[in-house]
Amino acid sequence: MKTEAEQAMQLNTASVWVEETPGSAPDRRLPGNWWVFILAALGMLVAVGGSLWAYLSGLRTLRALAAQIGDNATGGSHATVSHLMENAQGWASQIAVAAVAGGLALFLVAVLGSSLQRRRWMKRHAQLFEEAELRTQKYLGQVADAKVLGEEARKALAEAERRLAEITTAHTLLQRELTERRQAEKSLAQQAQQLERSKDVLEMHVQARTQELQKLQRRNELILNSAGEGICGFDLEGKVTFANPAAAKASGWSVEQMIGKTESQVFFLAGSRSYKEKDAVGFLKDDKGEYLSEQLFYRKDGTTFPVEYVRTPIRENNKVVGAVAMFKDITERRLSEDKLAHKAAELARSNAELEQFAFVASHDLQEPLRKIQAFGDRLKIKCDAAQLAEGRDYLERMQSAAARMQTLINDLLAFSRIIRSSQPFTKTDLEAITREVLGDLEHRIERTGARVEVGKLPSIEADPLQMRQLLQNLIGNALKFHAPGAVPVVKIDAQLVTRDQIREDAVFRNPPPTASADDKFCVLTVQDNGIGFDEQYLEKIFAVFQRLHGRGEYEGTGVGLAVCRRITDRHGGLITAQSKPGEGAIFIVILPINQPEAQETK
């Protein structure tokens, strides 16, 4: 809030300013002399213009009259007319000169009047400016005095507020101490009452806690007894202190018989051996002396069974007081693994036989096709000589069908060679290979007017020939499947990602396997603006000889993308696509930067 001194100071200043302000300020705008000057100029122009117009009109009239008189009169009349014209022209000139002189005089009068009026206005303006400066200086002096008074008032107010704050703080402290003292007295009274009842309450709590511990112990025993894996506890001497029913069932001993025996006596003694440590069979350990995760245990009757074994020390106050062992009978799993390995071997053998069959069959089919094409060429020559147009048409159809079959056989051979290829994985520059592929497709790019954009591509460990075939198939499809009349636009790019980044992507939930969890992958993308496809046919386009369009619409045999999938499978990668009809397609290939075989070789 403002003090009385501040308010008085403000009222004083306002009253002085009001008294010194003139009742009505003079009009400080420029007078209307410029309008007088403009009107005088306009009058002069009108007078001169009127004189000129009268002069010219009279001159034309006299010339016309003179011409008329000249046509009807004799030679003496012509002299009279000429004299008349000269006098009229001199008279008109005098009128024009008089009008111009009058206009100039009027203009000079207007200019002199404007100049005198402007001098009077400038003198008045200088007087008003001096008065305003005097009033401003006087007001600034009053403002400075008011600031001094305001500063003194603020200091007085601050001092008063500081004293009030000190008084308020002292009062608050006294009130708090009084309240704390009353609360302490009340608390002491309550504690005295509670101490009287503490004995009974403590006994009740101890009893409840004991019951809870007993319940927890029984629950833990039920959990251990219900576990499907065998669980045993051992003391520092290696003797069994606890065993659950699953351990007893797996070993053939009863729980009571296992208690007190060593682990070797329970799990590593045949039925015909005596229970002596020297006759016991030991645990399987690695080079570092650590227990292997898989062990071979003996039952009480002498039979053996494989187990998955985990042993963990029990620590109490950072001191080992025993150990707990968990084991699980993996006999069924071993049998399943053996069956799976047998099936995998059978499948590998079957795939090898099928590949061999496809390779041999494709080679055997080449010879009949070559003969069909050769004899077809000979027949075409004879049909041309005999002028058999219909026969030539039949032969062209036959040779076209044979050419399609030749293309299918070649694609089948290329498809079968992918897995049979024995080329080692080497450091492969994908960008250089892409440039070579674009050189091979240069004719198609120029024919379609396509625009191909290549980003920065990394180097990976791969088969260079198969990488070339992969990129040629993907880029070739991007150039081929476009709408009629449209200009193909193909974008090739890549980025390096980790396993976790692939898992976060919605496209690939399960990244391909690698030797290390820290390995990186190359995500290669080939994007086009072509006709696209419905994603419900995503798996179909990667199958052999599967096409979404007829032969009349787009060329091809339906093997190219199947070859791409086999190449990515051989390199331990993945391939998929994203597309919508009419909106182009994006083919995505994930390949490991380093191949496990290459790492092991290194």
State the DSSP H helix or E strand holding residue 424, giving kind and residue range, or none if neither: none
What pLDDT score does 79 carry? Answer: 64
Q: In this predicted model, what pLDDT tens digit does every residue of 456-515 receive, in sequence order? A: 999 999 988 889 889 988 998 888 887 787 889 999 999 988 877 776 665 665 667 665
Interval 436-458 mean pLDDT? 90
Q: In this predicted model, what pLDDT tens digit does every residue of 154-184 receive, in sequence order? A: 888 888 888 888 888 888 888 888 888 888 8
In DSSP terms, which residues pair with 240 in a beta bridge? 234
Cα separation, 13 vs 140, whole angstroms? 10
Identify whether the C-beta of residue 267 lies closer than 8 Å to the C-beta of residue 297: yes
| 190-199, 262-271, 426-435, 467-476: the lowest-pLDDT one | 262-271
Interval 316-332 mean pLDDT? 86
Interval 57-73 mean pLDDT? 69
What pLDDT score does 353 carry? Answer: 65
Is 23's pLDDT higher than 50? no
**CB neighbours (10 Å) of residue 254?**
13
User: Which two tokens mark 135?
Assistant: 């009033």
Residue with more model confidence, 383 or 150 = 150
What pLDDT score does 360 carry? Answer: 64
Cα separation, 275 vs 296, whole angstroms? 18
**CB neighbours (10 Å) of residue 515?**
15
| 183-192, 287-296, 401-410, 488-497: the lowest-pLDDT one | 401-410
What pLDDT score does 22 carry? Answer: 46
Cα separation, 287 vs 305, whole angstroms? 23
What pLDDT score does 493 carry? Answer: 94
User: Which two tokens mark 167?
Assistant: 């008084």
| Strand 320-329 to 230-234 pairing | antiparallel
Task: Give backbone dihedrals phi and psi of 524, rounded to 5 degrees, phi first.
Answer: -100, 130
What pLDDT score does 380 carry? Answer: 74
Cα separation, 459 vs 594, whole angstroms? 10
Is 434's pLDDT higher than 90? yes
Share of the chain above pLDDT 90, in %: 8
Interval 113-135 mean pLDDT? 82
What pLDDT score does 29 carry? Answer: 47
| 139-148, 154-163, 368-377: the lowest-pLDDT one | 368-377
Q: In this predicted model, what pLDDT tens digit does every residue of 247-282 receive, in sequence order? A: 888 888 888 888 888 888 888 864 434 444 444 456
Cα separation, 449 vs 435, whole angstroms? 17
| Confidence bin at 27 (pLDDT 50/70/90) | very low
What pLDDT score does 418 carry? Answer: 62
What pLDDT score does 274 carry? Answer: 42
Cα separation, 506 vs 593, whole angstroms? 21
Is 552's pLDDT higher than 60? no
Instruction: Determine the CATH number of domain 230-329.
Output: 3.30.450.20
Identify whether the C-beta of residue 311 lies closer than 8 Å to the C-beta of residue 325: yes
Identify whether the C-beta of residue 309 lies closer than 8 Å to the C-beta of residue 286: no
Residue with more model confidence, 326 or 23 = 326
Which of 310, 596, 284 is closest to 461 using CA atoms? 596
Interval 30-55 mean pLDDT? 67
What pLDDT score does 519 carry? Answer: 77
Q: In this predicted model, what pLDDT tens digit does every residue of 562-572 receive, in sequence order? A: 888 888 888 88
What pLDDT score does 378 carry? Answer: 74
Is 337's pLDDT higher than 70? yes
* DSSP secondary structure string for all residues of 281-350: ----B-TTSPBPSEEEEE-TTS-EEEEEEEEEEEESSSSEEEEEEEEEE-HHHHHHHHHHHHHHHHHHHH
Chain mean pLDDT for the chain: 76
Collapsing DSSP states into helix, strand and coil, what is residue 217?
helix
Identify whether the C-beta of residue 11 lies closer than 8 Å to the C-beta of residue 141: no
Identify whether the C-beta of residue 498 lies closer than 8 Å to the C-beta of residue 511: no
**If you compute the radius of gyration of the chain from its CA atoms, what whole number of angstroms results?**
57
Instruction: List the chain domain ranges.
Output: 4-201, 230-329, 332-420, 424-601
Is 594's pLDDT higher than 70? yes
* DSSP secondary structure string for all residues of 111-163: HHHHHHHHHHHHHHHHHHHHHHHHHHHHHHHHHHHHHHHHHHHHHHHHHHHHH
Class of domain 424-601: alpha beta
Q: What angle do CA 361, 367, 372 make, to 5 degrees?
A: 125
| 93-97, 113-117, 232-236: the lowest-pLDDT one | 93-97
What pLDDT score does 92 carry? Answer: 67
pTM listed for this prediction? 0.43
CATH of 332-420, one of 1.10.287, 2.60.40, 1.10.10, 3.40.50: 1.10.287
